[in-house]
Structure 1
C-alpha cells in the first residue's frame, strides 16, 4: 500500500484515508469527489454510514449500473462499521468494479485492523490524515487551501500564516478562507497572489507574528526598528518568552544553513526557506553567529526566571544580536 499525500491523491478503485486529523481527511474526500465529478459530471455519490451501514449496502450501490454512470461510494467511519459491512468490504476489494471508487475513511484506533492489513496487502493507496507537526507540512496545507480556491499565496506569506496560526489547523484553514475572501477582486479584475503584507493585515497583534517581525529586523541588523517593534509588542501584552523563542528559531535556522553541505533535503526544510535563510546568512560569519547565539542563550535563561527584569533581558538580546550582525 503506497502512501499518497492528501493534496495529490488521485481516483482509484479503492482508496483508504487513515488517521486522526479530521480536517486532512475532509480535504482528501473533497478532492476525490471533485475529481470524480470532473471525470463524470453525472457521477452518483453514495455514503454508507450510520443506519445504512448494514450487510449488502455496498453491493447495492456498487453493482453494475443499467445507466453506466460512475459511482463514488464513501464509508466515512470505517473504524466503527459493523462486522457485516467490514466483511463485505473485505470481499469487494479483491475484485472491485471498474466504474466505482470506494473511499474508506478510518479515523484511527485498532478496530478493523484485519481489514487494514488486507487493504495494505492489496496495494490500495493510503492517504495519511495524521496531525501536521512540521512547519513545512503546515505551509503546504496553506498553499493547498489557496490552490483549491484558484488562488496563489507567496511562500513567505504562507510561512507568516503558519507562524501566527499554526498551532490550530482549523484556525489556519479559517484564516486562509478569510484572506481569500478579503483579497478577491471585483468581477472582471485579475486576482494576484496573496503577499506578506496581506497576511500582516490580518495577523496584526498576534504575539507569534510580532515576535517573528522583531526577530527579522534584529537579524537584519536594523536595531532601531527592532527595538520599536519590541516596545509595541510589550505594550500589547506580549510575553518575553515567545519573543526569545522566535529569535532562537531564526538564529538556529541561520546556523543550520551556514553549515558546510547544508541543503533542503539534509535539513528537512522547504527550498524557499533555505533560500531566504541563506540570503540572510550572507551577512553573518562564524564569529558573529556564535556571539548572537550566546546572546539568545543568555536571554532565554534570564526570561525564564534568572533575571529580575525579563523585558530588559529581551532588549539587551536585540541590541547584542544587531551589533553582532553589523560587526561582521
Structure 2
C-alpha cells in the first residue's frame, strides 16, 4: 500500500482514505469524485451507507454491465460498515472491476483491521488522513494552501496563522482561504506577498477575530447574522470588553477611509485593507457612521462598569450599527 497526499491522489479501482482528520478525508473524497466526473460526466455515483449498505450492496452496483458505464462507489464509514459488506469488499479486492472506482473511508479504530491488512497487501493507494498535530506539520499544511492558490506568504505569517488557529485544521484552512480572498488584487495587478502584519490585521487573536466577523456582518447590515455570531461568541465565554474594542476598531477604520486623501501610508494599513474598507464605506453616510460610533462609545462605557448587563449592551450596539447601516 502506497501513501499519497489528498491533493494528488488519482482515480484507481480502489482507494483507501484512512484517518480521523475529517477535513483531509472530505477533500480526498471530493477530489476523487471530481476526477470521476471529469473523466466521464455520465458516471453513476453510489453511496453505500445506511440502508444502502445491506447484503450484496457492492455486488449490485459494481457488477459488470452490458454497456460498461463508469461508476463511482463510496463507502463513507468503513469502520462501522455491516460485516456482510466488509466481507464482500474483501472478496472484491481480489478482482476489482476496471470501470469502477471504489473509495473506502475508514475513520479510525480497530474494527475492520483484517480488511485494512488485505488492502495493504493488495497495494491499494492510501490517503493518510491522520490528525495533524505537530506545529511544523500545521505550518506545512498552511504553506501548501497558499502554494496551491499560487500566493506567496512569509514564514512568519504562516507561524502567526498556526499560533492563532492551529487547534482546528478546518478553521485553519478557512482562515487561510479568507486571507487569500481578502488580499486578492484587482485584475491585472500582481498579488502581494502576505506578511505577518496582514495576518495580525485579519486575526487579531481568536476572540477579536470572532468580533471582527460580528463587525463585518453588522457593517453589511446583516442583523440576524451578526447577532447569531455574537451569541456564539458569548456562549463560548468571550468577554464583552474585547468584543466591543474589536468592533470599535473596525468602525473607526471604516470612518478613517472616508476622509479626504486617505491612503495606505497615511492610515498605516495594507493596500488590500484600504480597498476593502473603501468598498464597504460606499454604503454609509457621515450621519450613519456618526450614529454607529455613538453606539460603540456608549457600549464601551457600559461594558466597563457603567451598565447593568454588559451582554445586552453589546447586543444593543450591534443592532444599532445594523440599523444605522440600513437607514443611511
TM-score normalised by structure 1 residue count: 0.57
Instruction: Give the aligned partner of residue 56 of structure 1.
Output: 56
Supply the distance in 1 between the matched residues of 2:40 and 2:77 (Cα, whole angstroms): 25
Question: Structure 1 residue 192 and structure 2 residue 225: aligned?
Answer: no
* Matched residue SS, 1:180: helix
CA-atom RMSD, angstroms?
2.9
TM-score normalised by structure 2 residue count: 0.57
Q: CA deviation at 1:37?
A: 2.4
Q: Aligned residues, how many?
A: 210
Q: CA deviation at 1:43?
A: 2.4
Supply the distance in 1 between the matched residues of 2:151 and 2:72 (Cα, whole angstroms): 29
Supply the distance in 2 between the matched residues of 1:51 and 1:101 (Cα, whole angstroms): 21
Question: Structure 1 residue 154 and structure 2 residue 153: aligned?
Answer: yes
Supply the distance in 2 between the matched residues of 1:2 and 1:100 (Cα, whole angstroms): 20
Supply the distance in 1 between the matched residues of 2:35 and 2:159 (Cα, whole angstroms): 28
* Matched residue SS, 2:104: strand
Supply the distance in 2 between the matched residues of 1:144 and 1:66 (Cα, whole angstroms): 43
Q: 1:9 to 1:155 in 2, by over 3 A?
A: farther
Q: 1:51 to 1:185 in 2, by over 3 A?
A: farther
Supply the distance in 2 between the matched residues of 1:193 and 1:45 (Cα, whole angstroms): 41
Supply the distance in 1 between the matched residues of 2:139 and 2:69 (Cα, whole angstroms): 37
Q: CA deviation at 1:109?
A: 0.8
Supply the distance in 2 between the matched residues of 1:185 and 1:87 (Cα, whole angstroms): 54
Q: CA deviation at 1:162?
A: 1.5
* Matched residue SS, 2:3: coil
Q: CA deviation at 1:166?
A: 1.2
Instruction: Give the aligned partner of residue 127 of structure 1.
Output: 127
Instruction: Give the aligned partner of residue 13 of structure 1.
Output: 13
Q: CA deviation at 1:145?
A: 3.6
Supply the distance in 2 between the matched residues of 1:36 and 1:194 (Cα, whole angstroms): 35
Supply the distance in 2 between the matched residues of 1:43 and 1:190 (Cα, whole angstroms): 40
Supply the distance in 1 between the matched residues of 2:104 and 2:62 (Cα, whole angstroms): 14
Q: Extract unaligned runs of 5+ from structure 1.
A: 210-235, 237-328
Q: 1:144 to 1:65 in 2, by over 3 A?
A: farther
Q: CA deviation at 1:53?
A: 0.6
Supply the distance in 1 between the matched residues of 2:184 and 2:132 (Cα, whole angstroms): 28
* CA-to-aligned-CA distance 1:195-245 (integer Å, 9 cap, x gap): 1143232122459x9xxxxxxxxxxxxxxxxxxxxxxxxxx8xxxxxxxxx
Instruction: Give the aligned partner of residue 202 of structure 1.
Output: 202
Supply the distance in 2 between the matched residues of 1:19 and 1:178 (Cα, whole angstroms): 26
Instruction: Give the aligned partner of residue 28 of structure 2.
Output: 28
Correspondences of 1:233-252 after superposition (within 5 Å): none
The answer as to whether partners of 2:151 and 2:193 remain within 8 angstroms in 1 is yes
Q: 1:117 to 1:203 in 2, by over 3 A?
A: same
* Matched residue SS, 1:72: strand
